[in-house]
Amino acid sequence: MLEQWRRVGQDRTAVELFAGGGGLAMAVHRAGFRPLLFNEFAKRACETLLANGATAVEEGQIPPIPEPGEPCPLREGDIRKVDFDYLKGRVDVLAGGPPCQPFSLGGVAKGDEDERNMFPEMFRAIREIEPKAVICENVRGLLRPSFRPYFDYILRELALPFEQRDESVTWQEHDAVLRRVLEEGATRLDRRYRVVMTAVNAADYGVPQIRNRIIVVAFREDLGVDIDRFKELVRPRYSEHALFRSMIDGSYWERHPTVPKEVRDRVMARIPAELPVPDETLPWRTLRDAIAGIDGQKPLPPIPPQYLDRKERNLGGFSDHIGWPNARIYPGHTPNELDRPAKTVKAGVHGVPGGESVVLLDDGSHRYMSVRETARVMTFPDDWRLEGPRGEKMRQLGNAVPVLLGEVFAKAVARVLDEAEEK
């Protein structure tokens, strides 16, 4: 949708690298940042960005700086061929999630040695753009003991991106240099960044999905941003125990009055006998909530068993709400339950391993989730167009940042930047 990128009256600007299907880009834009450039390598993801209002820029051409109300340029292809110098001093936020396969449990997990590691390109973009802030999302695999030393090095490199690593130097040798520079503290403030790493579960931020990730945010030190204020703004506001309490007091079931009694009884029987002391957190959102519609969305209609045939029927006027046949459940491949947040959406047609895109229905049957249901689990708006065959759409969603999760962090960045400038 063109209007996604054409909201006017925004004073802050952003650049999105590794933009994928647009989750983090949408989040940053909703937080009030006007996009100046997208970069993405995957063909189908680029088609999605173009379908939603971005405009293509040919390789070798310097993208124009869009004015408020103009579409964002998309530079397709290898980030290593993109020159960012023309954006120097123009960007408030540089955002992106470097490809996570080198560090994912589902990938080959080669880490730093994997040629798909794009963190060095993120740091090059920082050097060339000199943004006020950086937002970077990635997988929890970076916190595993085998990768933690390298991840700590990444954080130090983000703190000192202008201490560039020579190709002949190992990361361990470069890390020793960074440690020494940080201890000495002699670097200019506008050449250093204050780094905040937050381990998150998306469900704790209103996303109807269990999705454990890390979000790293960095602020240029010369800006004097209040880091404690930022941490408070990104504190989780939703909880599992609040969901349980809403089921006990009946408010959850009031939203879903057609749930059969036997289903309610089964769900209620699994609630722990003892819960934490009540607090101000809101209930986790569930897959049933997502299908019924959250934040003003209309309910998605059910998919009748006879429609599990891959045919587009425009059910209820929703795109990509198509039935898919042959869903199976078995040990190790268990389905989503409607009254829990969905399992982590993964970058594959079937969400394998784990049956993450299979849903258990109230009547005991099961089926694959539609692309539209999956998009709702990722908190994408219903009018966001996804391009490509089903597998490619699911891949884009599985690789994306949930929009609501990204929006919390992007709004917090905007707030503390505003407050720092008002001092």
Active-site residue numbers?
A: 100
**Spatial separation of the C-alpha atoms in residues 401 and 31, rounded to whole Å:** 15
Torsion-angle region of residue 22: left (phi > 0), alpha (psi -120 to 50) or beta?
left
What is the maximal distance between C-alpha atoms in the chain?
Answer: 69
Q: What is the dihedral of CA 53, 28, 101, 178, to 10 degrees?
A: 130
**Spatial separation of the C-alpha atoms in residues 407 and 87, rounded to whole Å:** 23
Phi, psi at 184, each rounded to 5°:
-75, -35
Q: Return the DSSP state at 330.
A: B
Which candidate, 7, 87, 106, places its Cα nearest to that of 39? Answer: 87
**Spatial separation of the C-alpha atoms in residues 28 and 25, rounded to whole Å:** 5
**Spatial separation of the C-alpha atoms in residues 361 and 289, rounded to whole Å:** 14
Handedness of CA 383, 354, 324, 337 (dihedral sign): negative
The answer to whether 68 touches 86, Cβ cutoff 8 Å, is no
| SS3 label, residue 133 | strand
Q: Give the number of other Cβ atoms within 10 Å of residue 98's Cβ.
A: 21
Q: Where are the alpha helices (DSSP H) in 168-286?
A: 171-184, 227-233, 240-248, 251-255, 261-269
b/e string for 135-147 if b means 16 or more Cβ within 10 A? Answer: bbbbbbbbeeeeb
**Spatial separation of the C-alpha atoms in residues 299 and 296, rounded to whole Å:** 9
